[in-house]
Structure 1
Amino acid sequence: MPKAAQPTFEPEAPLIRRRDRREDVEMDITPMIDITFLLLIFFIVCSTPDQKSSFELAEARHGKGVSERNSIFITVSAESADPAPVYLADGINGESLPNDLDEQNELIREAVEKGRTELKENVLIKADRNVAYRDVARVIKAVSRVEGAKIHLAVLEAD
């Protein structure tokens, strides 16, 4: 029987072969992207919208006019100040309220209560087109603290 070749070892050859350090290691990120999209879909499907803050406003062409004699006017101006300046009355004649939000809310509440004692049940809020809604919402919230006040938003009549 023929003899198997025996490996020969050279004394100068290394016993452990080292890997080349320049070898690029690539990581497949496809599963990570899949999981991200699955989580996104899960949260979109399982989330519930906040029903308290979603409401629709009536369009101006279907609105009804409000008697000015039975109304309290509050005007929100579109000046570049933050928060937007608020005036009691129509914005032309009337007093400007201070910029402190707590004091402003208290003065609005007092003015609406005073108007209610004078049998003015409607509160007409006039806001410039460029006023941020957060400023109008703040005024609405201050007015709504008075029991029985009917809030109306002033709009331009449709042609």
Structure 2
Amino acid sequence: MSSVIEDLSEDEEDDFQLPRKKRDDDEMDITPMIDITFLLLIFFVVCSKMDPTQMGKIPEATNGVAISAKESAVVFIEAAGKDKVVLKRIDGSEFSSDEETQTSELIEYISKELKSTLGDEKNHVMIMGDAEITVGEVTRVQKIIGDAFEDITSTYIAVKEQ
């Protein structure tokens, strides 16, 4: 009789178990993989730093508007080694290598140049460089000029022909 009770108790236990869903071996749940991919994407977008100095080189000029250097304030940008540039005035003298001092010297120089050309009603700044200059350096000089001189109508970029 004890064996009958054991058999009944085993049957009762089997009745209370939920049936297991059988999964095909061919199926794979990729939801966690997608979650991780989006988390990594969000992480790299949030942690990345955009650096405009690493963008690229200025393309060669193929055509453009003829602007006289005599009617504009001219700033030369020359390469001085890897990732370094030298800013020069039209007379060939260099601006300071310290960026803060360079900014004040650049503003003072352009103010003086524009005052000498304002009699001819010209209000242009020309930035001259060559192919070794990065776009970031030209943009930095343009930003300094744009922030300091709101009345400048145009800033022209000249590229040396080869």
TM-score, normalisation: structure 1: 0.60
CA separation in 2, counterparts of 1:122 and 1:73?
9
User: Higher RCO, 1 or 2 (CA under 8 Å, sep at least 6)?
Assistant: 2
Q: Percent identity?
A: 23
Conserved 8 A contact 1:87-1:97: yes
- Give the alignment partner of residue 127 of structure 1, picking from 125, 129, 149: 129
Q: Which amino acid aligns with 2:33?
A: I
CA separation in 2, counterparts of 1:98 and 1:142?
15
Cross-structure match for 1:146? 149
Conserved 8 A contact 2:72-2:114: no
For 1:35, what is the secondary structure of its paired residue? helix
Q: Which amino acid aligns with 1:94?
A: G
Q: Which amino acid aligns with 1:84?
A: V
Q: How do 1:1-159 residues align onto structure 2 when only pairs under 5 Å count?
A: 30-37=30-37, 60-80=61-81, 82-89=83-90, 93-119=91-117, 120-144=122-146, 145-149=148-152, 150-156=154-160
CA separation in 2, counterparts of 1:32 and 1:39?
11
RMSD: 3.7
Give the direction of change, closer, same or farther, for the CA distance of 1:62–1:77 in structure 2 (3 Å limit): closer
- Structure 2: which 5+ runs fail to align? 7-27, 43-57
Q: How far has the Cα of 1:2 moved from its partner?
A: 10
For 1:134, what is the secondary structure of its paired residue? helix
Conserved 8 A contact 1:83-1:99: no
CA separation in 2, counterparts of 1:77 and 1:137?
14
Count of residue pairs brought into register by the alignment: 121
- What are the superposed Cα offsets for residues 16-47 of structure 1, whole Å, 9 maximum, x if unpaired? xxxxxxxxxxxx883321223456899xxxxx
Q: Which amino acid aligns with 1:139?
A: V
Q: How far has the Cα of 1:129 moved from its partner?
A: 0.7
Q: How far has the Cα of 1:82 moved from its partner?
A: 4.9
TM-score, normalisation: structure 2: 0.59
- Structure 1: which 5+ runs fail to align? 7-27, 43-56
Structure number with the higher helix fraction is 2
Q: Which amino acid aligns with 1:117?
A: K
- What are the superposed Cα offsets for residues 93-142 of structure 1, whole Å, 9 maximum, x if unpaired? 41111111011011111111111111252211112211122211111111
Give the direction of change, closer, same or farther, for the CA distance of 1:112–1:33 in structure 2 (3 Å limit): same
